[in-house]
């Protein structure tokens, strides 16, 4: 029996010729990530260990992004804890306000994640870096502490599900629609502790931003990680952003998969996940009633990249947000913010009646910059729509792509972006 792409990466980092699903291994880490919520817990746990500093100051990334710029005294204290730890240990990749961005957009942009890496992060959406052909997964703060101290982590080798992507998405269908379709198909526990491995000739029709979005939401299907093969587009991205060498791993022809699915991208339609689970999906064609909304959020580690900004701006240009609607746009990093400004996208957003925020996770987790009141509804390009996720327990979140979100901001209700072309 052969190994999957994920299993090959884990075997190499464990110093083993072969691993199998269910096997317990200890693997070397290429990067350990923490943010302003999870890092203070890890730092306190690390203080209890009998260790002298961190294993490698160049292989730790600390990104305060959830409540930054600080929204209150508690968040300021959390960031102070991370800042002082970074100074004490001379952490190379600590990103202060003015440099920081949403962690899962920032790290690939900075070239800190490349193909063949093993990466852990004390944030569930660390699985994003699988878009580059890395094994990356979220862990708890205690595991983060152990990783910072030792440079190693224990894993149970995951089994795998193969998703064979074919065809080319139609206009206004993006990576967000692909992953919402998959989660709607298999459910929020359909890939529980599995590696979601994406293959097929349809991948060449997905941008890197599409792939980051898809890998980012693997956890919403219960996945241990999501991972894409390394192609010319991946290599070009890494050459543009990274100076580190990378290693390309490919699944064996006789690799074992627990399940296999084939998805024709050309058949997909703009998709919305209704409250209160990402699996509760409907295509825009299946929405028969008018669903009035109060707010739209375009941003997050899932959909705050430059392609997302361009798509939203192309819909909002020359149009205006509906009366009584709040539309909040959050570029994911300073570089994306600057590029959006240079391309005139920020002007488009503001002229359309939207507001543009500094990079922050903010409203995604009910932090700030867009909290919902009782009975309010939001169309959001974020990744979770659990009860109370963005505010009041009686608020509702509808997950969608930037295209659907922007069209909905104009209509004041959930809207089909394709109808704007009519």
Q: Does domain 270-421 have CATH number 3.30.499.10?
A: yes
The ranges assigned to domains in the chain are 5-264, 270-421
pLDDT digits (tens, 9 = 90+) for 177-235: 999 999 999 999 999 999 999 999 999 999 999 999 999 999 999 999 999 999 999 99
CA distance 143 to 158: 18
In three-state secondary structure terms, 31 is: strand
Q: Does domain 5-264 have CATH number 3.30.499.10?
A: yes
Is 270-421 in the same CATH topology as 5-264? yes
Judged on CB neighbours under 10 Å (0-12, 13-18, 19+), 52 is exposed
Residue found by looking up tokens 């979140």 in the block: 397
Q: Write down the pLDDT at residue 7.
A: 97
Q: What is the 3-state secondary structure (H, E, C) of 176-195?
A: HHHHHHHHHHHCCCCCCCEE
Q: Write down the pLDDT at residue 422.
A: 61
Beta pairing class for 24-28 and 152-156: antiparallel
Which residues of the chain fall short of a pLDDT of 70? Answer: 422
Gyration radius of the chain's alpha carbons: 21
Q: 198: which 2 tokens?
A: 């994406």
Please say whether the beta carbons of 412 and 326 come within 8 A. no
Nearest residue to 379 (alpha-carbon basis) of 302, 296, 277, 279:
296
Q: Write down the pLDDT at residue 420.
A: 83
CA distance 108 to 133: 12
Residues 6+ apart with CB under 8 A from 357: 299, 328, 329, 330, 369
In three-state secondary structure terms, 353 is: coil
Q: Write down the pLDDT at residue 52.
A: 81
pLDDT digits (tens, 9 = 90+) for 227-257: 999 999 999 999 999 999 999 999 999 999 9
Q: Residue 329: in which H helix or E strand, if any?
A: strand 326-329
- pTM as predicted: 0.95
In three-state secondary structure terms, 275 is: coil
């Amino acid at each position: 029996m052969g190994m999957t792409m994920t299993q090959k990466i884990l075997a190499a980092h464990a110093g083993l010729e072969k691993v199998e699903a269910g096997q317990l291994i200890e693997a070397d880490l290429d990067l350990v990530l923490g943010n302003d919520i999870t890092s203070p817990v890890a730092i306190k746990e690390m203080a209890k260990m009998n260790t002298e500093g961190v294993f490698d100051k160049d292989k730790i990334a600390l990104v305060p992004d959830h409540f930054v710029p600080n929204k209150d005294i508690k968040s300021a204290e959390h960031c102070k804890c991370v800042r002082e730890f970074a100074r004490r240990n001379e952490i190379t990749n600590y990103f202060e306000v003015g440099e920081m961005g949403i962690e899962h957009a920032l790290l690939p942009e900075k070239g800190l994640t490349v193909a063949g890496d093993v990466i852990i992060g004390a944030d569930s959406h660390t699985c994003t870096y699988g878009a580059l052909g890395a094994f990356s997964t979220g862990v708890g703060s205690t595991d983060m502490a152990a990783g910072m101290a030792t440079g190693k982590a224990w894993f149970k080798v995951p089994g795998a599900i193969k998703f064979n992507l074919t065809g080319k998405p139609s206009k206004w269908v993006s990576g967000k629609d692909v992953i919402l379709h998959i989660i709607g198909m298999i459910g929020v526990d359909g890939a529980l502790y599995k590696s979601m491995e994406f293959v097929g000739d349809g991948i060449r029709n997905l941008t890197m931003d599409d792939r980051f979005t898809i890998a980012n939401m693997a956890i919403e299907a219960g996945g241990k990680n999501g991972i894409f093969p390394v192609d010319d587009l991946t290599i070009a991205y890494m050459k543009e952003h990274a100076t580190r060498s990378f290693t390309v791993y490919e699944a064996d022809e006789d690799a074992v998969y627990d399940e296999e699915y084939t998805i024709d991208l050309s058949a997909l339609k703009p998709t919305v996940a209704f409250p209160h689970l990402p699996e509760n999906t409907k295509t825009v064609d299946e929405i028969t009633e008018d669903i009035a909304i109060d707010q739209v959020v375009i941003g997050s580690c899932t959909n705050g990249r430059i392609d997302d900004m361009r798509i939203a701006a192309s819909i909002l240009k020359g149009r205006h947000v509906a009366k009584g609607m709040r539309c909040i746009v959050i570029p994911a990093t300073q570089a994306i913010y600057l590029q959006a400004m240079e391309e005139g996208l920020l002007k488009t957003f503001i002229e359309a009646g939207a507001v543009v925020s500094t990079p922050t996770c903010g409203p995604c987790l009910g932090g700030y910059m867009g909290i919902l009141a009782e009975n309010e509804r939001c169309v959001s390009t974020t990744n979770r729509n659990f009860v109370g996720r963005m505010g009041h327990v009686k608020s509702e979140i509808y997950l969608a792509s930037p295209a659907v979100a922007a069209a909905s901001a104009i209509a004041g209700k959930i809207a089909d972006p394709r109808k704007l072309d009519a």
